[in-house]
C-alpha cells in the first residue's frame, strides 16, 4: 500500500530530475536575490533558464543539494525540450496578429472618378447635452461567514506552509462544525485534538 522506498530515497528517474530542477531553480533565485547571478542566465521558461545556467556555470552543482540529487559531468542535469516561440502573456489579452492598414494609391484619372469612393471624414465631436451616469455604490452586508479566518504569517517562525494548511482546516471546521465532528475528526486523532484549541 505504501511505498517506503520513495520516502527513504528510492525515487524514480523523472522524480529525481524534477527535484534536481527545483533545487537548481531555488539556487538561481537565491543568487539573483543576492545579486550574485552571472550575466547570461535567464529565460522565459524553466527549460530555457536551466539551459542558460548550464551554458554559463557548466556542470556546477550547489553544495546544499541533497546527496541523492547531486549531479556532475558524468550524471548531468538534462532539461526538458521547450517551445522556443513561447512568450508570456497576460490573461485576457489577445495577441494581435492583424496587419496594420496600409494606404493605397488612388488613380488621378478623371474617367475613374467615383462618387461612392469618396467617404466623408468622421469627426470626434463631444456631445455635451448628456450627463455622465452617476456612480453607484454596491451595497454589501457585513457577514462574518464571508471572511476566512486564518493565521498571520511572521518572519520569526517561518511557518507559512503550516499556516496555510491550518487556515484551510479551520475554515472547513468553522463553516460546518457538525459535519467536521461526524466525518473529519474521527479520521485522525490529531484532527480531533486540533479543534480543541479553536
Query: Final residue of a domain: which of 47, 68, 86?
Result: 86
Q: How far apart are CA 14 and CA 7, in angstroms?
A: 15
Whether 114 is covered by a domain: the verdict is no
- Identify the domain boundary among 65, 86, 107: 86
Domains contained in the chain, number: 2
Q: pLDDT value at position 117?
A: 55
Question: Between the CA of residue 99 and those of 82, 92, 96, 128, what are the distances in Å?
Answer: 28, 21, 8, 36
| pLDDT class of 105 with cuts at 50, 70, 90 | low
pLDDT band at 99 (very low <50, low <70, confident <90, very high): low
The C-alpha cell of 116 is what?
461612392
Pick the last residue of a domain from 40, 62, 86: 86
| pLDDT mean across residues, the chain | 72
- Give residue 184's domain range: 148-195
* Burial of residue 134 (number of CB atoms within 10 Å: 0-12, 13-18, 19+): exposed
Q: Is 130 a member of any domain?
A: no
Asked whether the whole model's pTM tops 0.95, one would answer: no
Whether 79 and 7 share a structural domain: yes
2 occurs within a structural domain = yes
1, part of any domain:
yes
End-to-end CA distance of the chain: 34
Amino acid at each position: 500500500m505504501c511505498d517506503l522506498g520513495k520516502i527513504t530515497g528510492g525515487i524514480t528517474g523523472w522524480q529525481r530530475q524534477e527535484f534536481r530542477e527545483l533545487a537548481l531553480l531555488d539556487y538561481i533565485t537565491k543568487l539573483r536575490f543576492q545579486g550574485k547571478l552571472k550575466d547570461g542566465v535567464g529565460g522565459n521558461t524553466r527549460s530555457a533558464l536551466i539551459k542558460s545556467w548550464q551554458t554559463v556555470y557548466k556542470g556546477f552543482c550547489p553544495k546544499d543539494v541533497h546527496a541523492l540529487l547531486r549531479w556532475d559531468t558524468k550524471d548531468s542535469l538534462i532539461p526538458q525540450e521547450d517551445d522556443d516561440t513561447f512568450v508570456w502573456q497576460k490573461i485576457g489579452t489577445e495577441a494581435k496578429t492583424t496587419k496594420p492598414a496600409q494606404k493605397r494609391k488612388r488613380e488621378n484619372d478623371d474617367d475613374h472618378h467615383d462618387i461612392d469612393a469618396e467617404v466623408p471624414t468622421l469627426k470626434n465631436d463631444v456631445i455635451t447635452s448628456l450627463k455622465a451616469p452617476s456612480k453607484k455604490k454596491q451595497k454589501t452586508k457585513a457577514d462574518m461567514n464571508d471572511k476566512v479566518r486564518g493565521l498571520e504569517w511572521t518572519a520569526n517562525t517561518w511557518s507559512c506552509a503550516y499556516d496555510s494548511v491550518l487556515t484551510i482546516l479551520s475554515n472547513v471546521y468553522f463553516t460546518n462544525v457538525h459535519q467536521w465532528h461526524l466525518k473529519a475528526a474521527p479520521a485522525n486523532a490529531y484532527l480531533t485534538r486540533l479543534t480543541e484549541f479553536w
